[in-house]
Amino acid sequence: MASIKIKVDYSKCNIEKPEDCTECLRICKPKVFIATYMDKKNLFDPKVWRVIPRFPKLCTYCKKCIEICPKNAIDIVISEKYQKKLAQLSS
């Protein structure tokens, strides 16, 4: 099956507010990541913010987010079929 999974290890990525780090979000051209709050009841607590890979299917597997992440918190697992699909799209 063609699949792509983007995982962020939140024990390493511990941004506390939207303006912290977000290097992955800024470098990703297709805009796979978003910064969002995780607790609707507590919007003004900066510790509820996270960067999440909201749109993994837009990923072109350029690996720039992995390379730039200062915490080594991003892992992308991509199937062979998906890699072939991406190669076809870029040729």
Mask 8-27, x = binds ligand SF4 (CB under 6 A)? x----x-x-----xxxx--x
Q: Binding string to ligand SF4 for residues 22 to 61, with x set by CB under 6 A, is what?
A: xxx--xx-x-x------------------x-------xxx
In the chain, the DSSP E strands lie at: 4-8, 33-37, 49-53, 74-78
Quote the least distance from Cβ 65 to ligand SF4, whole Å: 3
69 binds ligand SF4 (CB under 6 A): yes
The CA-atom distances, in angstroms, between 81 and each of 17, 25, 58, 77 are: 37, 26, 16, 12
